[in-house]
């Protein structure tokens, strides 16, 4: 049973502002770093009693909990003022990874060690960084911390085919494999009611299938000032016969040429298929977030398999927690 509290942290004190907010929502995506929290507060300059609670402002530290379990912590980054309300948007502490640009050089260091080194250098608390053996040799100029970490993770994915989730939880940085982030959509509506899988009571579902992002031929090449050299190719002949040639090219640096064939085959395995997208709305569960894997078995929709949560939005209004998910079949 949900019991959400929104707290304003000020002067080392936590002030419960739950009763003066509305339109509470939070969302995240695999295509962006960080979770965004939004809410409204009432506003009336003529009401002296209401003004006592008008203490949220840009830069305020906000914490969202559910049954004392922290769901979000971050800062208010925008404030929109209307006659009788204020709308606030907050970002978790991944905000600082995006906003700070640095100059950094790595030489033959594993991705996991490079991320740990970055975090230690810039006092970023670490929750977990899984082992990623891919070696990095690179100079990053005028890149944000987030851009550097994402680039290293992309290189690891190109080499191994494994995908990684980068996020902040409880003020700490986590880097984990998608395959280690399997969740269930369990909900409990009341203390005297047993929990159940909310996927058994889907409010809405929409599916689409597309070949727009399909690729059935991958060419990996290296380049210098004077020439280009094809280092490896990978093709799905059966797919090409059915859908025609859909080719992509990937440029690699000289130090990565030895991995060219592997990079081509991994990318082909990822893209040589019809992309199926599924959007559902269900009762909310705090474990549902972007980058998680969810198993769906819905015979009426001919669905049975594992799905990656690409985008996730939670809403909580009038005691009802809903969750909208954009899913990609694995």
Element (H, E) at 183: strand 182-183
**What pLDDT, on the 0 to 100 scale, is given for residue 47?**
75
CATH number of 4-95: 2.40.30
Mean pLDDT of 279-291: 94
Mean pLDDT of 233-252: 94
Domain ranges of the chain: 4-95, 100-180, 182-210+275-329, 217-272
Fold: same for 100-180 and 182-210+275-329: no
**What pLDDT, on the 0 to 100 scale, is given for residue 113?**
97
CATH C-level class of 182-210+275-329: mainly beta
User: Helix, strand, coil shares of the chain as percentages rounded to 5?
Assistant: 25, 50, 30
Confirm if 231 and 252 have CB atoms less than 8 A apart.
yes
Question: Residue 156 above 80 pLDDT?
Answer: yes
Question: Residue 257 above 80 pLDDT?
Answer: no
For the chain, the distance separating the N- and C-terminal CA atoms, rounded to the nearest angstrom, is 31
Mean pLDDT of 106-132: 95
SS3 20: helix
**What pLDDT, on the 0 to 100 scale, is given for residue 6?**
95
**What pLDDT, on the 0 to 100 scale, is given for residue 244?**
94
**What pLDDT, on the 0 to 100 scale, is given for residue 122?**
92
Q: Which of 13-22, 123-132, 257-266 has the lowest mean pLDDT?
A: 257-266
Residues in the chain: 330
CB-based burial of residue 88 (10 Å sphere; 0-12 exposed, 13-18 middle, 19+ buried)?
A: buried
**What pLDDT, on the 0 to 100 scale, is given for residue 194?**
79
**What pLDDT, on the 0 to 100 scale, is given for residue 44?**
76
Question: Residue 50 above 80 pLDDT?
Answer: no
- HSE, side-chain direction, 13 A CA sphere, residue 140: 21
* Order of strands, sheet of 228-235, starting from the edge strand that comes earlier in the sequence: 228-235, 217-223, 247-251
State pLDDT tens for residues 179-235. 999 999 888 777 777 788 888 888 899 999 999 999 999 999 887 766 788 888 999
Confirm if 64 and 6 have CB atoms less than 8 A apart.
yes
Confidence of residue 53 (pLDDT cuts 50, 70, 90): low
**What pLDDT, on the 0 to 100 scale, is given for residue 199?**
87
CA–centroid distance for 62 within its chain:
20
Question: Residue 3 above 70 pLDDT?
Answer: yes
> In whole angstroms, what is the distance from residue 146 CA to residue 32 CA?
10
> In whole angstroms, what is the distance from residue 2 CA to residue 186 CA?
12
Question: Residue 54 above 80 pLDDT?
Answer: no
Kindly indicate whether the domain formed by 100-180 is annotated with CATH number 3.55.50.30: yes
Mean pLDDT of 155-162: 90
Confirm if 63 and 70 have CB atoms less than 8 A apart.
yes
SS3 154: helix
**What pLDDT, on the 0 to 100 scale, is given for residue 224?**
72
Question: Residue 66 above 90 pLDDT?
Answer: yes
What percentage of residues in the chain have a pLDDT greater than 70?
Answer: 96
Q: Which of 155-159, 188-192, 269-273 has the lowest mean pLDDT?
A: 188-192
Question: Residue 255 above 70 pLDDT?
Answer: no
Element (H, E) at 321: strand 320-329
Mean pLDDT of 130-142: 93
**What pLDDT, on the 0 to 100 scale, is given for residue 225?**
63
């Amino acid at each position: 049973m949900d019991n959400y509290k929104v707290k304003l942290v000020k002067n080392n004190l936590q002030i419960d502002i739950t009763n003066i907010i509305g339109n509470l929502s939070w969302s995240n995506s695999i295509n962006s770093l960080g979770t965004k929290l939004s809410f409204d507060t009432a506003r009336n300059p003529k009401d002296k009693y209401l003004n006592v609670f008008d203490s949220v402002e840009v830069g305020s530290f906000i914490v969202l909990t559910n049954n004392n379990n922290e769901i979000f912590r971050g800062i208010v980054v925008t404030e929109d003022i209307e006659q009788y309300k204020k709308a606030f948007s907050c970002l978790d502490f991944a905000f600082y990874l995006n906003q700070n640009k640095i100059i950094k050089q790595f030489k033959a260091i594993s991705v996991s060690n490079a991320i740990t080194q970055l975090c230690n250098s810039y006092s970023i608390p670490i929750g977990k960084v899984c082992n990623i053996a891919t070696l990095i040799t690179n100079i990053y100029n005028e890149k944000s911390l987030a851009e550097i970490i994402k680039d290293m993770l992309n290189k690891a994915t190109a080499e191994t085919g494994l995908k990684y989730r980068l996020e902040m939880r409880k003020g700490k940085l986590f880097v984990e494999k998608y395959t280690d982030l399997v969740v269930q959509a369990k909900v409990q509506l009341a203390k005297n009611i047993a929990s159940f899988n909310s996927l058994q009571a889907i409010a809405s579902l929409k599916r689409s299938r597309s070949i727009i992002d399909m690729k059935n031929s991958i060419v990996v090449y290296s380049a210098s000032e004077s020439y280009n050299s094809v280092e490896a190719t990978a093709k799905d002949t059966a797919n090409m016969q059915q859908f025609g040639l859909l080719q992509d090219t990937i440029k690699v640096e000289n130090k990565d040429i030895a991995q060219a064939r592997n990079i081509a085959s991994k990318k082909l395995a990822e893209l040589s298929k019809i992309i199926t997208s599924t959007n559902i709305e269900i009762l909310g569960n705090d474990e549902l977030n972007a980058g998680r894997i969810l198993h769906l078995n819905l015979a009426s929709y001919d669905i049975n398999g594992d799905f990656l949560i690409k985008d996730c939005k939670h809403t909580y209004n009038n005691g009802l927690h809903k969750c909208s998910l954009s899913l990609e079949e694995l």
